[in-house]
Chains A and B, each alone.
Chain A
Amino acid sequence: MPDYGFGDYLQFVLSGLSTGSIYALVALGIVIIYSVTGIINLAQGEYTMLGAMFAVTFYKWGLPLPLAFAASVIVVILIGMLIERLTVKPVRSASPVTLIIITVGVSIIIRGVALLIWGATPYSLPEFTPGAPLTLFGAILSRQRLWIMGVTALVLALLYYLLERTLLGKALRACAINQTAASFMGVSPGQMSLLSFALSAALGAVAGIVIAPLTLVSYNMGLMLGLKGFVAAVIGGLVSAPGAVIGGLLLGVIESLSAGLISSGMKDAIAFLALFVVLLWRAEEVTPRLRSLLRRQSEVEG
Chain B
Amino acid sequence: MAILQIEKISKQFGGVAALKDVSLDVEEHRITALIGPNGAGKTTLFNIVAGTFPPTAGAVRLAGQLLNGMQAHERVQLGIGRTFQNALLFDNMTVLENVMVGCHPRSHTGIVACGLRLPAMRREEEFIYLEAMKYLNLVGLGLHTDELASNLPFGQQRLVAIARSLAAEPRLLLLDEPAAGLNALEKMDLIDLVRRIQEMGVTVLLVEHDMTLVMQLAEWIAVLDAGRKIAEGTPAEIRRNRQVIAAYLGEEEA
Contact = CB atoms under 8 A, between A and B. Distances in A.
User: In the complex, is A directly touching B at CB under 8 Å?
Assistant: yes
Contacts of A299: 59, 68
A289 B70 CA distance: 8
B107 to A, nearest CB: 24
Interface stretch (A9-17, A139-147, A290-298): A290-298
Which applies to chain A's interface (DSSP): helix, strand, loop or mixed? helix
Contacts of A288: 69-71
Interface string A259-302: 00000000000000000000000000000110111011001000
B71 A295 contact: no
Most buried by A among B68, B69, B70: B69
B170 to A, nearest CB: 21
A28 B105 CA distance: 44
A292 B59 CA distance: 12
A295 B69 CA distance: 8
Q: What size tier do the contact residues of chain B reach?
A: under 10
Contacts of B54: 291
A293 B71 CA distance: 13
Contacts, number: 16
Nearest to B67: A292
A85 B68 CA distance: 46
A292 to B, nearest CB: 2
Contacts of B70: 288, 292
Nearest to A292: B69
Contacts of B59: 299
A289 B69 CA distance: 7
Interface string B56-79: 000100000000111100000000
Contacts of A295: 68-69
Nearest to A288: B71
B62 to A, nearest CB: 15
Contacts of B69: 288-289, 291-293, 295-296
A292 B68 CA distance: 7
Interface string B68-106: 111100000000000000000000000000000000000
Contacts of A289: 69
Contacts of B68: 292, 295-296, 299
A237 B62 CA distance: 36
A292 B70 CA distance: 7
Interface in B159-185: none
Nearest to B74: A288
Nearest to A294: B69
A136 B68 CA distance: 57
A291 to B, nearest CB: 6
A296 B54 CA distance: 14
A8 to B, nearest CB: 49
Contacts of A291: 54, 69
Given A292-B68, A292-B70, 10 more contacts: A288-B69, A289-B69, A291-B54, A292-B69, A293-B69, A295-B68, A295-B69, A296-B69, A299-B59, A299-B68
Interface of A: 288-289, 291-293, 295-296, 299
Interface of B: 54, 59, 68-71
Q: Sorted from nearest, which 10 A-B pairs have the closest CB atoms?
A: A292-B69, A295-B69, A295-B68, A288-B71, A291-B69, A288-B69, A292-B68, A292-B70, A296-B69, A289-B69
16 contacts: A288-B69, A288-B70, A288-B71, A289-B69, A291-B54, A291-B69, A292-B68, A292-B69, A292-B70, A293-B69, A295-B68, A295-B69, A296-B68, A296-B69, A299-B59, A299-B68
